[in-house]
Amino acid sequence: MSVNRPPTATATLGQSLFDVDGALSETAGRLPTRGQFIRRGGRRLAAGAVGGAGLALGIGFVPGSAHARSEREDLAILNFALALEYLQASFYTEAERVGALHGPLAQQARVVGSHERAHVAALRAVLGRQAIARPRFDFRGTTDDPKSFRATAVALEDLSVGAYKEQLPRINSDHYLAAAVAIQSVEGRHAAWIRRLAGIVPAVNAFDEPVSDRRTVQLVNATRFVTLKVPHTSSKRSPSFTG
């Protein structure tokens, strides 16, 4: 089934568009830059030395401002991950509800959708009130037929793996890092699963390249899945119903 709508997903990957909603670029803007990341690496080593001495004395010592900054940076990364998880969870949920998939593809959407929703729940739980709101999505017909769904799912899963790979080394907290690694490896399995269903070799290279924040935002915006066209279904206008 094809859709006479603007080209989407895999057809426009690589096309740079403005961020229609700002959800991803907003979160990407709060991420630590590569320079900050490298500088922090030095601080982390120094803190490790101080921390080691502190532990030997039975004292946990972490500089307050540095700790707060690293926490902020971690939360920014988690929000960036949440934006991607929103995208994936919404995509699979919609595909399942539309009901155009059958057989192994339907099974993949059903199971992977449940995983992505669990990722969303986990990230929202840890971010609490700092979690970004779920953007509104228009998947532009890609959930309406198996062919479009499969191509889009491959693109989203590959992107997710690469985006996590870029962010993981920047996470300061071991707790957050452990959870993010647990999610990222599952995203890798998702990518392999849908690639196999699409007839694509699941693992082509011995080493994967990360996808930068900027590139991730570009790719997501290119799909135009995040929409500003929110239906206005409430009004303060006086009713004109028959009464």
Partner 1 sequence: MNRGGWIVLAASLIVIACAVTLWPGGHRAPGGSARSPAPGAQASLAALPQPSKGFAIPRPRLLRDRAGVTRWAPVLEAAEARERPTRSSPGVVRVGTQTPEGTTNLVVVIGEAVRHGVTWVHARLAVLPDARTGWLPRSVLGGWQFVMTHLVINRARETLTLLRAGRVVFRTRVGVGKPSTPTPAGQFYIRDRLTRYASPEYGPLAFGTSARSPYETDWPAGGFIGIHGTDQPGLIPGQVSHGCIRLRNPAIRALGRLLPIGTPVTIT
Beta bridge pairs of residue 226: 137
Q: Which of 67, 147, 175, 196 binds partner 1 (CB under 8 A)?
A: 175
Among all chains, which residue has been given the structure tokens 């959930």? Answer: 143
Which of the stretches 66-74, 97-105, 190-198, 204-212 binds partner 1 when contact is defined by CB under 8 A?
A: 97-105
Check residue 94 for interaction with partner 1 (CB under 8 A).
yes
Task: Determine the length of the chain.
Answer: 243
Please report whether residue 102 would count as binding partner 1 according to CB under 8 A.
Answer: no
Kindly state whether residue 138 participates in binding partner 1, applying the rule CB under 8 A. Answer: yes
Which amino acid is present at 37?
Answer: F
What is the rounded distance in angstroms from the CA atom of residue 5 to the CA atom of residue 86?
A: 23
Q: Among residues 82, 183, 219, 222, which is the contact residue for partner 1, using CB under 8 A?
A: 183
Q: Does 147 bind partner 1 (CB under 8 A)?
A: no
Residue 144 within binding range of partner 1, rule CB under 8 A: yes
Q: Identify which of 179, 169, 167, 170 has the alpha carbon closest to the alpha carbon of residue 123.
A: 179
Residue 91 binds partner 1, judged by CB under 8 A: no
Distance CA 174, CA 115 (A): 22
How far apart, in Å, are the Cα atoms of 225 and each of 84, 101, 212, 243?
A: 12, 20, 20, 40
Residue 148 tokens read as 């479009």
Q: Does 114 bind partner 1 (CB under 8 A)?
A: yes
Binding site for partner 1 (CB under 8 A): 1-5, 93-94, 96-99, 110-111, 113-115, 117-119, 121-123, 125-126, 136-141, 143-144, 174-180, 182-183, 227, 229, 231-243
